[in-house]
Amino acid sequence: MTSLLTACASQSFPQAHNQSKVFGGYFEESGIGYAPYNIADLLKNAAADELTHLIYAFGNVTATASPTCAIADPSTAYQDSTLPSVSGKPYTAPLYGNFGAIQQFKELHPNLKVLISLGR
């Protein structure tokens, strides 16, 4: 693990790994509740065009005999139809909320990789 962390800290690692740079952003699901920032705001700065990876936080891991992934806050994640549109088009069911916004953002930036951070 130490050698991987060292390699990741090296500026040459992205070029050696896949010949391109990774520019990631971290979007916290619950942040829209206490900070006036949402996925549509990503288009208001120049970083949106450079973004290669979007890490969405957080999904849950259930505390069961067979742990599974779960949505932390369904309302914020995919049910809230009041979030500003990213593309200017209305969201289409069943995805509203942050997931609908990410879907529209990905339509505008098709090479974007979207990941979810899981925790408990």
Residues facing residue 28 across a β-bridge: 57
The predicted-structure confidence for 14-36, as pLDDT tens digits, reads as follows 444 455 788 888 888 876 767 77
Domain assignment present for residue 9? The answer is no
If you average pLDDT over each of 14-18, 60-64, 82-86, 110-114, which comes out highest? 110-114
pTM: 0.77
What pLDDT, on the 0 to 100 scale, is given for residue 28? 87
Task: Work out the percent of the chain whose per-residue pLDDT is above 90.
Answer: 36
Once rounded to an integer, what is the mean pLDDT over residues 37-55?
A: 86
What pLDDT, on the 0 to 100 scale, is given for residue 8? 34
Q: Give CA–CA dist 36/7, Å, rounded.
A: 36
Q: Which residue has the higher pLDDT, 102 or 35?
A: 102
Domain assignment present for residue 70? The answer is yes
Domain assignment present for residue 2? The answer is no
Domain assignment present for residue 6? The answer is no
Enclosing domain of residue 60:
20-119
Residues facing residue 94 across a β-bridge: none
Q: Give CA–CA dist 82/94, Å, rounded.
A: 14
What pLDDT, on the 0 to 100 scale, is given for residue 20? 78
Q: Give CA–CA dist 97/19, Å, rounded.
A: 34
Number of structural domains in the chain: 1
Domain assignment present for residue 5? The answer is no
